[in-house]
Each structure stands twice: as structure tokens, then as C-alpha cells.
Structure 1
């Protein structure tokens, strides 16, 4: 670059400064005290191609070094990270919440490195389909992050957060990895699987594990809860989870397992805390429960994904709860 060009672009960040900012972002987002505003600001920063490249490089470095990277970022760099303008936030395609799982008990968010670098992500309220030439289809729910690769004849999906439905044609084997689990379709049989991966209730920051659920909507699949564990055969109409009731195959309600593909949220005697978690994936801002007692209240109903506030009001009325709207999308139920 000539001297004249340098004079015309005096504020262009250097590669070193971008690398430093990327490292600082990762340290902040994995600190356990990051907020949704931090995730939004990072998403806006990553909207620039050079910033995104630096962020991915820093993410790969984090995989290898972890705490060493945290210790190598001066406090003044972490505090000086840029904040987005209102225009940048509006243009970020609602990604910020898509890579974040909200930690129980407050507004802090917890991110895992895989979510930061996922090649396929959906934002708040966004549902997307990925169609492959061989007929394989991935339907991604809101706030989902995954990686997809093909190894030989087999497609390998690594689900880091959120939920998806995998439709695998006959003679196209698919593996779905989520947390420590692995689910394999049978190569000789078409199958449709609904898989979810949510940060566990007792997860803490970067090191939290996830609760995984697999529902076999059609065909068959083999589920492994961990390396070396004997696979469990799942047949159509059955599912399994790694959280509460882990390892027990049970019947599923196909109408509710992936109702989001039809634009619906279907709850049948569902704890209010789980209902709020679902609604938070489809509306900007945050819904919070102010009463520990309210979290265990049960909800039954069918609601439209494109009208989450209408669902919130209906649920609050049915349960005798009061809504406190505090601005910026924040709603407290009490």
C-alpha cells in the first residue's frame, strides 16, 4: 500500500489489532458474565469479513490454548471492545441470540467454542432449511448452531445448540453428533429424526454440558450416549434423552416433536420454565420468571411462532401471572 493510500485510510485496523479484538471478544463471551448486549455487539462486529476471519482464527486458537488465551488479553483490551451503533444492531440479522444459551437465574449468557464458529446458524425467530443434492434435508429451528461435513458417503452433522430435523433418504447414511452423543441412521432405510441440544440446567459457563434429545419420526436409528457405549435402537415413534430420565426409550408425540416446522409451538403439560425458554427463541429481548414457584406451573396449548407475545399474554392470563414490560423486549412474569 502506498503512502497516499495509507493517508486515505487512517483508521483501518491492522491485522494485529483485529486479532487482539477477536481474542478479547472470546474472553468476554466465555467469561460467564457476558450479557445479551455483549453477544449482540460481537455479532455486529463480526458482520465485517475481516473481523469474522479474525474471530474464527481466534476461536481455533482457543480450542488449543483455552485459559492461556484468557490470560494473554490485557484488561484494558477487554474493556475497550467496540459497541455497535443502533443501525449495526438492526442489520445483524438477529444472530446474536442464535449462538447464545441463556444461563439459568439471570441475564448472563454462556457460550461454548463450537457455537462461536459454527458454519450454519439461525437467529432469534429464524427457521431455515438446508437441502443437499442427494435429497438429504436439514431443517434448523431458531437459535441453532451446527457444522456439516461429508465423509465418504456419510453426512456428519455436529449440532452445538438448538434443534433440527434431519431427513435422510434411503442409501444416504447420516450421523448426528450432539454433546457426547452420536446417532446414526441405517444406510438401507430412509429416516427422519428430530434432535435437540440445550445447555443443561447445571451448566456453568464455557464448561457446561448439554441435554440432548432424539426423536425418531420415521425409519430407524442407533443412538449412543457416549464413546464405547452399546447403541440403542430407536424405531419410529420413539425417543430418548440424556437429561432427566436419561437412557430410557419412550414413546413420542410426533405432532409436538417438531411442530416448529409447521410454525407452531405445542405444549402438553409442559413446565412454564421450558415454555419460556422456547418463547425466548422466537422473540427479541428476554422473558424472565420472577418467582421460583412459577417455573413449575404447567402449560398446555398451541401457539403460533410468529406471534410469541400473543402466546405470552395468553399463558400469563391462564396462569394468573402479571406481565411487567421493562422496555427493550424485557418482560418479567410474576
Structure 2
């Protein structure tokens, strides 16, 4: 599973499409006239003629109702989409969906409600949580599969210690002991590959949330110890875990727009779009595509952009399973022409 459903969404089902205004307005008029056929048949022709005149107040009310109905369709469809992990974007809905697999959102940095002003906790993102959700099916067994290793590396402490005792011939007692991990929420991504056919060697690479993604020695050793624990490890595997190789890159670009749009607004939007793209690609096997940079910066202009000149990166960056790109700095200029 190279791309998870929430990162490569299918087209929305046609059932969740929003009718266009013309269709809705035609439907509303038809429903209104149909109702009049029953309750006031003598008024049908007059009302029908009125609705053909856009200057009539009844026509404006009917058009307004069509717009209201269209907005309701959008809200209903958006609410329905939140029921699916592929489309869910609301934090509480994501929390509810992942709870089906016994997962909870991890705390990346503890908050301090007693501070002034209060410091809110930094929580795991929806994207990261949903990635663990799709990986969680591989936690039904121990490690061994690539995604099984990946799930356990991202969710240390998820597998309990299991003790089985038989105090007498007719009784078996199974005890599951869950322990909190000091490293929960610290790993951002992990990849595992076969170290050689028939060798039993598995090589893993770990990316951290903190800083540029280079994991600390403590995180690396703690994660490896957990993966090698009796309740997780494969007896036949020899596991190695390495720090991800970080490829730092700088975004230096100029966005050209015509006279008119607010430069400060577009500057802020471009900076935010660039930071978001850098964060999304800060993962193992991440890719920095110059054509995508061009696309997101033009999109940030809300249609007013003329062209983008990218000075850095000089060429696209493609990391393999051992490394991740890290956006080190952003220097975007917005100029008119």
C-alpha cells in the first residue's frame, strides 16, 4: 500500500454531488406548481406566469429558496463525507473513525493549561492519524510485513505484553498488560525493506516529528527495543533501524501578478501554501516536484497569477525509502508586471 486512501482520494460518489442551481430552481418551480394543482388549481396558470418574470417578488423568493436548498445539499454532502476515512477532515470525526481500530490521537507536545496565556497541547495531525488507521490492520499480527513494522514503529506501546497461565487443568488465564511508551507521537514516518533474500535481515528507517526529522538516539534505540520485544518481533527476523537521511531544500521563487490584487494578501497565501506543501512532503519517499510548486503558487494567487519563476530548487527532488525532504527556508517574492 504505497498511497493510502486519504492521500489519494477516489472521485466523490455521484450520490454526493450537489445539483446545479438551474436544475434545483426548475425542480422547486415544478414542486410549487404541483402543490398548487391540489390546493389551489385556479391559481396555477397565474403563478406559473408570475414565475416566468424575474422581476416578481415571488420569483425572487423561489430563486432564494433554490439557493438555500443548494447550500443545504452542500452541507448534507459534506456531513456524509465525514463518515468515511478517505474524506474525513473534522478532528472529532477522525477521532471517532479511528476509534473503531482502538486508536487514539497522540500528543506530540504536552500543553500547559496553568500557564498565562494557556499553552495548548500539540496533537497528531489528521493525516498522520489516518495513516496509522490504515496501517492498523497490519497490527492484528506481529511484525513481519512491511506495513506491520511501520504501524508498530509509529505506534509504540500498542502491542501488550501477554502472559498465559494455567493454575489448574481446567483454567487458562491470559493477561494483557499495556504500558505507556515514552516515545509515543515522536515518530513521523517509518519504512522497512528486506535486507537480502534468505538472510532474515530487515532494515528500517525512521523519521521524527521534531526538527528536520532526524530522530534522536533515544528515539531510535527505544523504537528498536519495542520492535524487538517478545510480543511484537518476528523470531526469524534480524532487525536494523537507521535514522532517515534528510535532504534539506530551500524554496526561492518569484510570483508575478498583474496590477490590482493586494500583494500582501497573495504573499501570505503563497507562503502558507509553500509551507503546507513542504510539510506534506516531509516524509520518507517524499517528492519535491517543481511543476507542483508552480501549481500551488499560482493557485495561491486565486487566479490572478501570471507566471512563477522558481530559482530553488534547481531541479525536482525524489527521496527513496531511506530519506525525506525538509523545507529549510521559504523566500517568495510577489511582483507585478
Bin of the TM-score, shorter chain as denominator length? under 0.3
Higher relative contact order (CA 8 A, sep 6+): 2
Give the number of the structure whose alpha-carbon radius of gyration is greater. Answer: 2
Higher fraction of strand: 1
Higher fraction of helix: 2
